[in-house]
Chain A
Amino acid sequence: MLHRQSASPRVVLVQDPAAAARLVVDEIADLCARCRAEGRAPVLGLSTGRTPVAIYGELIRRVREGGLDLGHAVAFNLDEYEGLSSSDPRSFAAWMERVLFDPLEWPRSRRHIPDGTVRPADQGAQCAAYEAAIRAAGGIDLQLLGIGRNGHIGFNEPGSDLHSRTRCVELDRSTREDAAADFFPEDPPRRAITMGIATICEARRVRLLAFGAHKRAAIQRALSGPLGEDCPASFLALHPDARFLLDGAAHGPGAQS
């Protein structure tokens, strides 16, 4: 039987994605300052999609204004579609370059994302190497997450094991439907490489963001339902420092719409 941690995940209600971005970037700035004092590199777990766009915009703004130094930061992305190379504009690797890495001239040596073009036979080795690279960097200090309509985090679809690690997975029908517009007229990919639930839960802090009424059911399930594989985000209740940053529409009850 799995029990929720006493105060986790904490829900933080904000007005909009911009307000959430300011809070998260404040936290990243504190983290970077502390790491500098400790003489080590901050390690960020990054995600893709609409949800974190405001965060990356705010990161770029603060770096350009001189209030934030990401010079030593190391990035690990959550996931990538199988079969897409980083030169494919629909890949998460290309998306990260466009939205964050290129504008900040983030050095290649300090950013990691699973390679979608690795042959199936070699995927096991790539996934093990990805886990080893995270450990070698000292573990992830702060992991950003979104949530799928089906409760997925990363591409850990319903059914994902609490102890899962970086691996190849089959994508859910609802996940592929949500991605369809990005791939039209082609079919969206069927498989992806993703960090596992255990990988995510080893990050020292987890910050999940969700905005809009279409996320409400998944958020409600993750926050108040039993912990279970049918909603992978529900496992974040086991994490000692997980926060959900939500707008009123995503949170639902008790908040202003």
Chain B
Amino acid sequence: MNELRGRLLLGGRLVHGAVHWSGERIVSLELDSAPEHGVQAPIIAPGFVDLHVHGFGGHSPVGALRAMAGALARVGTTAFQPTLFPAEPARLGALAAQVWREAELSNGEAEPRARIVGLHLEGPFVNPLRAGALPREDLAVPSLAALRALMGPATGDGRGIRTVTLAPELSGACDLIAELVRGSVRVSLGHSAATADDARAAARAGAVGATHLFNAMSGIHHREVGLAGFALTSTQLAAELIGDLVHVGADAIRLALAARGPKGLCLVSDALEGAGSGCDVFHSHGRAHERRGGAWYYPAGAGGEPKLAGSALSQLEMVQGLVRHGVVSVEEALTMASETPARALGLEKELGLLAPGLRADFVVLEPRELELQRVLVAGRPVENRRPGA
């Protein structure tokens, strides 16, 4: 039996004790009624779960998914949804099938990499007026025919699509929500100009998420709270939150936390492939992305202001930054990065919590600066160095 001893994240609190595992699974948790090591003990939390990540470590899900999964594991993200940008539905469907094939291979291999728990399609049925950094020409108008082209045959040909971000105010979108829900696909509302009523109707139709809260969505006005306001008030939606302190300001995070608590907010990286690569520039969609602070920007046309795209940080760096800046507590940050997204995916009996029977996915953090000391994926240690680095 293997053991890690320290302060365990349990039910949103840090409790002194030990976690024991055998093979891939947690066997037992031992809780000390009185601490012996005080606050010096390392923090042991479930591995992080990222609902929204476009790439990492210089790798994108298309063609380099294994490398991406390896790079994520090295920074403590032990399960994730590779997130694909929009494309013409049939082409995106084929791309999803290709990525999912590699995902299943990666998941089946002994190498300790982050587990791929399904794909997240950020579009294409989103509102062009709220496209943000998504290429407008790749968006699609909602229709059942387009959805079928995207999802493939009704029997499913293994595209692994677990989450679709869509804008509920688009004509025909509610039919798509119902159809996706029937197919056990999570619908997350985003890139949207929805009113609160639009969002409420979508939630009634089965939508369960809000994609990167506050970003690329209708914001709060006191007579029309928009999608952001609905996501802050409805416990039915698990709201993604980008924690780089660029995409969402500290006070907006405090507002979200006051409204929803750590069990309503999923810390997502929304990282682009240049994140975690050590580079300050990378190219994607034919655009040069430049890193500034915790985020990526690309030049928007002639003389235009640089446009904010995804983040340049890992979930780990976000946890560290949010705690360092006093925006959230350690317990809140860790819960938002693990348990809440696992529950959002309906995987809380499998991963994302420290509980007997679940996967032995752990991060061990030094208690003051939250430096990452160890990562375990399904009970196996992850080498801390990048291959060749």
Chain A residues near B (Cβ < 8 Å): 4-16, 19, 22-23, 26, 223, 237, 243, 245, 247-248, 253-256
Contact = CB atoms under 8 A, between A and B. Distances in A.
A162 B249 CA distance: 58
B356 A15 contact: yes
Contacts of A243: 30
A247 B357 CA distance: 11
A6 B11 CA distance: 23
A19 B33 contact: no
Given A13-B28, A255-B10, 19 more contacts: A4-B33, A5-B34, A6-B34, A7-B32, A9-B33, A10-B31, A10-B32, A10-B33, A12-B28, A12-B31, A13-B356, A23-B28, A223-B33, A247-B356, A248-B355, A248-B356, A254-B13, A254-B15, A254-B31
Contacts, number: 70
A13 B11 contact: no
A67 B304 CA distance: 74
B36 A256 contact: no
A9 B31 CA distance: 9
Contact of A8 (B1, B10, B33): B33
B27 interface: yes
B331 to A, nearest CB: 12
B355 A7 contact: no
Contacts of B32: 7, 10
Interface residues of B, number: 22
Contacts of B348: 256
Contact of A12 (B15, B29, B357): B29
Contacts of B28: 12-14, 19, 23, 245
Contacts of B31: 10-13, 254
Contacts of B357: 15-16, 19
A6 B36 CA distance: 8
A243 B30 CA distance: 9
A10 B27 contact: no
Nearest to B19: A13
B27 to A, nearest CB: 6
A8 B31 CA distance: 10
By CB atoms of chain B within 10 A, which of A16, A237, A243, A256 has the most? A256
A115 to B, nearest CB: 37
A206 B326 CA distance: 44
A254 B11 contact: yes
A253 B34 CA distance: 17
A4 B13 CA distance: 22
